[in-house]
Structure 1
Amino acid sequence: MRYVSVPWTITIAHLSIILLLPIAALALRATSLSPAEFWQLATTPIALSTYSITFGTAIVAAVINGFGGTLTAWVLVRYEFPFKRVLDAVIDLPFALPTAVAGLTLATIYSQTGWIGRYFAPFGIQVSFSRIGVAVAMVFISVPFVVRTVQPVLQELEHTLEEAAWSLGASQWQTFWRVLLPPIVPAILTGVTQAFARAVGEYGSVVIIASNVPFKDMIAPVLVFQRLEQADIPGATVIGVVLLLISLVLLLIINLLQAWGRRYDG
């Protein structure tokens, strides 16, 4: 028991210092406000606008990654092509690339004169420094979560299941819809939820590619930073607590989806 207690002590101390104490400090700071004050700060017009932009754009980015990330995982697993390993490695680039560098790169290529943005300019579509740019940044930084969640599940699928379905007269669409899709749905939902949670908390790339104008494309993390710059600690704390509570709910959803996936596999 003496040897077992050492890992437990280190684990509890590590989690307390890194996770529990900062969260507790934020919660205690919020409890210094009355419920009426908390509600007033959490529901100001600019705060509600940032919530809408943050979560609405994150949902759009997560849905896009749900389709695109699943298709990318399918191609990486089922097809052989030149530079496949290079593409597989590039998928993890958003994990390693500093978010500020990602934002600068995206803002440059999606600007009115950028490599990609100049093709949208004739149609009056502005990507950089707009809400579309926020969505682009969120898609960029969250796509690996879907790909890396779905990819292992696809690798474990038995090809014999497809062959059996075909031998029984099923079409390719019926095989995909009834045989291949059900086992990967939990993984897709988990990846989409993780991508959504990651997009909600993104700051570095979004603050560069967006114009950060209130009621236009300002997200909640940027508002927190602005409150801190204005020495409005209560305002920043309240918005931080709101984001924290929503993040905890998302983590609960992720755990439920993973449990559902394990029951399905079982």
Structure 2
Amino acid sequence: MSETTKSSTATLDEHVEAAGPVSPPGGKGRPARLAGLGGSGAGGTALGVGTATIFLSAVVLIPLAAVIWKGAAQGPGGFWDAITTPDAWAALKLTVIASLVVALINLFMGTLIAWVLVRDSFPGKGLLDLLIDLPFALPTIVAGLVLLTLYGTDSPLGVSLAYTRVGVVVALLFVTLPFVVRTVQPVLLEFDREMEQAAASLGAGNWTIFRRIILPNLIPAMLAGTALAFTRAVAEFGSTVLISGNVPFKTQVAAVHIFGQIESDNTAAAAATSTALLVLSLLVLLSIDLLRRWGARRG
């Protein structure tokens, strides 16, 4: 090689080293562009979080804060007096007890229905799966009318549950059943069946497989669905207002009592009872969440 060529080559190498590595399109140069996009994405995330916060504040937080402020406007003594009047206390007690009964029934029956829909095959399975969502789509006042027609004084089934506490429980069951089913069903669908097969190959029975492998994975979803069913039952109005008959001290639930207080222009007492229901629902949801977190830590 001539001296001129060597000199030119050395000069070219010096320019390349000074300029640094050249990244091909789509190669190492991409992280720099992604860094710029990352900054834009962070701004987009902040905008999304801000929009969501404003929307939730306008739709949920501010109205709830207004109800709590109205209920507590008369001070702790006035709040306690409003929720411990004989009719308010009877309505709250009936609502809590009926909601607990409904939540426990849904815990077992909702899990069983979800299991049947996922693990079994039978004629009409698709129709049954569709009917589970009917309470979500049906207006609750229409549900109350349907239940009153089926279980009223002129029941075609010969079963009269109108104006009884059992009728209230049946109405709450109707509107809350989908919560546990639709919470447990996806977990069963995504469950790894190979773990069951491995346990069976090691000699484990069906009950042992369910208790030691399947149930621990289902418990968080079961608890979440049960909590949602309870809070939904506590706040139910439409399906109970007809079949309960709104009999004070007997079948009047808290939501119907609140409606009666508003009609009587006693908004402070209505707000106090609403605040009591709100606090109860939040405590239940918080307790379930803490229990799930404790279970996750314990494995």
In the alignment, is residue 51 of structure 1 matched against residue 85 of structure 2?
no
Say whether the 8 Å CA contact 1:190–1:257 is kept in structure 2: no
Say whether the 8 Å CA contact 2:167–2:244 is kept in structure 1: yes
Aligned to 2:192: 158
Aligned to 1:75: 116
Aligned to 1:106: 147
**Worse overlay, 59-68 or 69-78:** 59-68
Say whether the 8 Å CA contact 1:61–1:138 is kept in structure 2: yes
Aligned to 1:227: 261
SS at match of 2:154: coil
Using the size of structure 1 for normalisation, the TM-score is 0.90
Deviation at 1:251, TM superposition (A): 2.7
Aligned to 2:13: none
Aligned to 2:59: 18
Partners of 2:109 and 2:276 lie apart in 1 by 30
In the alignment, is residue 89 of structure 1 matched against residue 130 of structure 2?
yes
Deviation at 1:59, TM superposition (A): 0.8
Aligned to 1:171: 205
Aligned to 1:123: none
Aligned to 2:36: none
Partners of 1:201 and 1:6 lie apart in 2 by 33
- Find the partner of 1:248 among 263, 282, 290: 282
**Worse overlay, 224-233 or 184-193:** 184-193
Which consecutive unaligned segments of at least 5 residues does structure 2 have? 1-41
Deviation at 1:43, TM superposition (A): 0.9
Aligned to 2:271: 237
Say whether the 8 Å CA contact 1:142–1:195 is kept in structure 2: yes
Deviation at 1:4, TM superposition (A): 4.4
Deviation at 1:65, TM superposition (A): 1.1
SS at match of 2:123: coil
- What percent identity do the matched residue pairs reach? 45
RMSD: 1.9
Aligned to 1:64: 105
With over 3 angstroms needed to count, the CA separation of the structure-2 counterparts of 1:171 and 1:54, relative to structure 1, is: same
Say whether the 8 Å CA contact 1:187–1:261 is kept in structure 2: no
Say whether the 8 Å CA contact 2:171–2:239 is kept in structure 1: yes
Count of matched residue positions in the alignment of Structure 1 and Structure 2: 258
Partners of 1:143 and 1:137 lie apart in 2 by 10
**Worse overlay, 37-46 or 197-206:** 37-46
Partners of 2:200 and 2:50 lie apart in 1 by 56
Which consecutive unaligned segments of at least 5 residues does structure 1 have? 121-125
